[in-house]
Structure 1
Amino acid sequence: MMRATKFEDLPSQAEALSMSGLDFMQRMLAGELAGPPIGATLNYEAVHVEKGKVVFRGAPTFDFCNPMGTVHGGWYGTLLDSCMACAVMTMVPKGSVYTTLEYKVNITRPIPLDMEIEATGTIQHAGRSTGIANGEIRGVADGKLYATGSTTCIIMQVA
């Protein structure tokens, strides 16, 4: 997946609105559209996209620790927000946009530094104006559950 390094690398609003959210996500995964710069910043990327489901992989590094030396909750939250909201995005029709209204994170155990995880978002509901998804973070090697989340997104028709 190609990552945006400057604002001009990102798709224009007109380009984004010309395709469904699923098409957008699939083109991003294929490297035809630039991925989000936050993925490079926080060490994660999309690895799977299908209708109603998106998977990201990443690993927390020392840069993401809080003063106690454990992975900051914001890292968990960002990965869950990304996978859950992108699961909603796969259901957004051409000519519409979406954004997160609220999300909740439950951390069940600390992720060891440098351990690869998968953050999976799965759609629960996609209507005309809202989308709801759940997410979980699991260790790739151990399969253990490290966090869960839920989100509500607003879907807005632009064109």
Structure 2
Amino acid sequence: MTGLDEIGAMIERGIRPPMMELLDIDLAEVAEGRVVFTAIPSRRLYNPIGTVHGGFAATILDSACGLAANSATKVPTDCITLELKISYHAAMHEKTGPIRAIGTVVSIGSRVAHTEAKLFDANDRVYASATSTLLLSPRRKRADTGEVGTGEEG
């Protein structure tokens, strides 16, 4: 199973990790080296100054960068963020409407991947962008769930 196969199965089964459930973020599309997340910003994401908290943009961009790298791996791999640089271009509000974060692989090696992601509204206005450096690590047994993912599964 490749990283792309693994992510495709998540979409087919409607699986959302707990953070994505909490923030109501959906994984909408996946291709090798590219993913798209979608969400609709709401007041429940507001910071004290009355705009969507930057942490929401950071979360969806970090996820897009990480899964873009994972989608390009030959076996399921842990893609661990080593560095994330975010630029905020415009504030989001509840009236922003649907957004999408598109993550793509810039380069990938055996141990490190470099990715980028951009956060757009329905009119292609950019709200935030990010670059990321990720450590690629063989999947190991998870202590919290007992799941095994060595990358050697068919």
Q: Same fold (TM over 0.5)?
A: yes
Query: 1:35 offset after TM fit, Å?
Result: 2.1
1:62-101 matches, within 5 Å, as 62-94=43-75, 96-101=77-82
1:3-152 matches, within 5 Å, as 19-31=1-13, 34-94=15-75, 96-113=77-94, 115-140=97-122, 142-152=123-133
TM-score w.r.t. length of structure 2? 0.85
Identical residues among aligned pairs (%): 28
Secondary structure in 2 matching 1:71: coil
Query: 1:89 offset after TM fit, Å?
Result: 0.5
Deviations 1:65-123 (A, max 9, x none): 11001111000000100111100011122263221111111010012215110100010
- Structure 2 unaligned runs (5+)? 140-149
- Matched pairs, number: 139
Question: Does residue 132 of structure 2 align to residue 155 of structure 1?
Answer: no
Secondary structure in 2 matching 1:111: coil
Deviations 1:97-156 (A, max 9, x none): 22111111101001221511010001001110001111000002x211111101011001
Q: Distance in 2 between matches of 1:80 and 1:110?
A: 15
Q: Which runs of 4+ in 1 moved over 4 A?
A: none
TM-score w.r.t. length of structure 1? 0.82
Secondary structure in 1 matching 2:4: helix
What is the aligned-residue RMSD (CA, Å)? Answer: 1.4
